[in-house]
Amino acid sequence: MATYFSDMLTGDILQADFGPTPDGNISHSMVVTSKDASNNIYLTYHTNNTKNRSINDLLAGNPGTRWYGLALYCDVMRGAAPGRSPPARPGGGDRMAITRNPRVWGAAVAAVLAIGLGWLGLRRLGNDTGLEDFRDNRPTATAAEVGGDDPDRVAAALVERWLRRFTTGEYGGASRLREYRIDQMAVLPASGGRFVVSVCVSVKPTGRSFGSWLGGSGGRVEDGWIHGKFLRFAVVRTGTGYQLRELGPGPL
């Protein structure tokens, strides 16, 4: 989640629970399509076919609204080291703090599912075997193995196992990895007792598997590495513990 309007970049999503009496449900979603030298963002959205409306205009016309900013780029892609804040941008704009509220995460995740269309790129750049490897890789773990039922601990253990399997030869050459690094991870509550995990990773594929990993939400390529790749998983409860299921690309 973005903390300030000035944190948002082109392509990020801003959602509104309109005032003057917000009810806790997302009413509208917009895409950041421009940003000026003073760090003010401009939004485009389908309702009334609006293009590049300034955030200041939206704020003035919707008093009491709760705003939720979805940052679709992890620190690696925003120009900062993993786990650190991005560098300051000219113009500030931090006076406009964005509300954070975990109750809207479900709606937020649903609103950005359209991004998953980019996963079709995996079919185009990789091959069917690579795609099947990603989906068939469903590691499991018991609470005892990960030291309890804490969602963050469970997610970290399962994502690590998911990535490590691609380095061991357990799967074919279309998905093989030489090395990997988990840069960021966010665990989001979801319905039905499961939770969703959004991950930003850096991976070093082989020559054969490079296209498969670059497809969908591939990031910046440098020295054989793909930095800032997004992955999204569902963690579900099983009879003996937890299982990780790959969902495709997603925001952080």
Report the candidate in 197, 249, 206, 207 with the shortest Cα–Cα distance to residue 228.
249
Stretch 103-117: mean pLDDT: 51
pTM of the predicted model as reported, rounded to 2 decimal places: 0.56
pLDDT digits (tens, 9 = 90+) for 118-134: 444 444 443 444 778 88
Stretch 139-161: mean pLDDT: 93
- 59, two tokens: 């704020």
Domain ranges of the chain: 5-104, 113-248
Q: Which residue has the higher pLDDT, 148 or 122?
A: 148
Handedness of CA 211, 216, 219, 220 (dihedral sign): positive
Minimum mean pLDDT range among 47-51, 53-57, 164-168: 47-51
Asked if the model's pLDDT at residue 110 lies above 80, the reply is: no
Contact between 184 and 82 under an 8 Å Cβ cutoff? The reply is: yes
Minimum mean pLDDT range among 35-49, 85-99, 102-116, 211-225: 85-99
According to CATH, what is the number of the domain 113-248? 3.10.450
Asked if the model's pLDDT at residue 172 lies above 60, the reply is: yes
Contact between 181 and 175 under an 8 Å Cβ cutoff? The reply is: no
Report the C-alpha gap between 160 and 40 in whole angstroms.
38
